[in-house]
Structures are given as C-alpha cells and as structure tokens.
C-alpha cells in the first residue's frame, strides 16, 4: 500500500533515531552486487562498537519488476529496517511512496536515503552534499563558468543542484530523454534565477565551449560498460568528473587521463554521502576519514 504523498519538506529537524545495540539497513537498486556500501557501513559500526547488518535488496538478483518497489519497502518495514539507501533506478520513483521529505530532497526531487521510524518513511538526499564535498576537495580552483552534465536522472538531479550551489554560472544538461532534462533544468532555473540552466541534445556542440564535464549516468559501471562522452569530444583543457565508483577508473576517466585532463572519480561522492546516511540511520556521527579507509581497503585504491 502506498504511503501518503510526501509533505513539502520537514519544517524542523526530526529527532534522531534512538540508540540501539544493532541496526538492520539496506540498499535498494538494480545490479548492485558490487556496491561497497555494506562494507563501509558495517566497518564504521564495528569501529564504534555496535553491530550493523547491511543487506542488498537487488531487483535484478531477485528477478523483480520495477512495480515491486512498494512491496520491497513494505518488506523492509516488516523486518524492522532502520533505513534504506536508494540507488539507480529508484531515486525518483520512490518519492510517491514516502511520507516526508527533507527540504533538500524536496528541492532536488530525488531521494537516496530513507529513515524508517515510527511507521513513517522520511526521504533525504545525501548525494548533493556528498558530491559538493568531493568536488571541493578533488577539484579546487576548477573553472565553473560553463559546465556540461550528461544525465538528468535521480543522481543527476543531485549533482546539478550541487553544481549550482558550488557556483557554476552556466549548466547544460544532456540526457537521452530530453523531456527529463528539460523538466530538471526548468525547475533548477526557477530555483537559481541568477544562473543559466538549460537542456540540450547535441553534446558535440555544447562541449566545445565548456570548461568541465560530468558523467551522471550509469554508463561506465561494471554492469553498464562504455562512456557517456565519446573520446573524440575530449580535450586536454577540459576537466572531467564521473559519479561512477565501480570501477574507480571508468572508460571516460581513462580516455580523459590519456589526454592529460584533470579528473575526479566517483569515490569521494560515495564516501561522503555514505557518512551522512550512516548518521541518519544510527543517530551517530561517522568518521569520514575512517570510512574513506574502509572504502580504499575494499577497492584496493
């Protein structure tokens, strides 16, 4: 049974979860067996002296259709999950199934973290802040006058929002579904009227005048090989970023590095968003540097 439509945002910070001796949390998505989230969360909990079980609720592995999303959420509630991470392709589809949204999730229109508490589902977006922190640390001084983003789905909505908060003056979003990119840019233009935000279809034409490009699609993942940006569109003066973190060096980043481009992989975003999600699940602050060490241990980076 679907939840009532989400409220327009939480007007105050809800009380944190009550401390427990153990927690059950999970990740909902497709093709997520390579996710490093279970190790990061479990290791951080162990370092703090409590138990955390992290399950992968993989629709591909379970043979489920997208229409099974409400049933999977119900299952998590019945089993006593404290919360869920949400990844491709459900960050936007999950919205009608929630009771409340944080102001940031409401503004972005996508959720990657859900608190399950007192019979209510509260949606948050930690992707935007995670990407912002990663970009600040990994791309200091990067030119932000004109940026191209490929992908306008759930993750792309978060990174686009983050880019505008970071100070990007002209943001162009290209998506295989032009209508989706157009809807996202229209909303962002209203929220950031002092910036130029637009959708486009011809990547070759717009990337020629850009200073940086971000891949915010699944292309490049182990389960979705390839690159969202053809190598012949890259040039040494372009900075290139990717949200994909498995593998760390995607085809796009490999092509960019071969040309001498400044690059940013997706590891920082996943680490910083996970640290915030951990806090939302457990009510305990995560040690970001320690979570980074957990991540590097399991990826061999």
Q: What residues act catalytically? A: 91
Spatial distance between the Cα atoms of 81 and 233, rounded to a whole number of angstroms: 45
Q: CB–CB of 212/241 below 8 Å?
A: yes
CB 150 within 8 A of CB 159: no
Query: Residues 7, 275, 67, CA angle at the centre, nearest 5°?
Result: 50
Spatial contact of 22 and 52, defined as CB atoms under 8 Å apart? yes
Q: Taking a C-beta distance cutoff of 8 angstroms, is the pair 150, 212 a contact? A: no
Handedness of CA 21, 27, 28, 34 (dihedral sign): negative
Return phi, psi of residue 227, to 5°: -140, 140
d(CA 71, CA 64): 10
Backbone angles phi, psi at 8, to 5 degrees: -75, 10
First to last CA, the chain: 43
- Scanning the structure block, which residue is given the tokens 């003066």? 237
Rama region for 38: left / alpha / beta (φ>0; ψ in -120 to 50; rest): alpha
Q: How many Å apart are CA 77 and CA 132, to the nearest integer?
A: 31
Contact (Cβ atoms closer than 8 angstroms) between residue 231 and residue 253 = no
Pair of tokens at residue 119:
């019979």
Q: Which two tokens stand for residue 288?
A: 């970001």
């Amino acid at each position: 049974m679907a939840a009532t439509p989400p409220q327009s945002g939480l007007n105050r910070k809800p009380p944190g979860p009550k401390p427990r001796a153990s927690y059950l949390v999970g990740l909902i998505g497709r093709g997520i067996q390579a996710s490093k989230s279970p190790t990061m969360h479990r290791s951080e909990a162990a370092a703090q002296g409590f138990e955390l079980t992290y399950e992968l609720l993989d629709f591909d592995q379970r043979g489920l259709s997208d229409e099974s999303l409400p049933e999977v959420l119900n299952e998590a509630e019945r089993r006593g999950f404290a919360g869920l991470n949400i990844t491709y392709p459900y960050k936007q589809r999950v919205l009608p199934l929630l009771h409340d949204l944080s102001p940031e999730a409401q503004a972005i229109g996508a959720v990657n973290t859900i608190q399950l508490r007192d019979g209510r589902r509260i949606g948050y977006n930690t992707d935007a802040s995670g990407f912002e922190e990663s970009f600040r640390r990994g791309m200091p001084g990067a030119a932000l006058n004109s940026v191209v983003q490929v992908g306008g789905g759930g993750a792309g909505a978060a990174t686009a929002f983050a880019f505008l908060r970071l100070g990007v003056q002209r943001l162009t979003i290209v998506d295989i579904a032009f209508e989706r990119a157009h809807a996202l840019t229209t909303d962002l233009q209203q929220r950031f009227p002092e910036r130029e935000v637009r959708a486009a279809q011809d990547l070759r034409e717009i990337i020629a005048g850009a200073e940086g490009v971000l891949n915010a699609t699944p292309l490049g993942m182990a389960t979705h090989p390839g690159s969202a940006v053809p190598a012949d569109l890259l040039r040494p003066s372009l900075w290139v970023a990717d949200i994909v973190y498995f593998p760390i060096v995607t085809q796009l980043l490999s092509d960019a590095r071969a040309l001498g481009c400044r690059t940013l992989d997706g590891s920082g975003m996943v680490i910083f968003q996970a640290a915030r999600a951990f806090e939302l699940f457990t009510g305990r602050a995560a040690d970001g540097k320690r979570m980074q060490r957990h991540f590097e241990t399991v990826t061999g980076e």
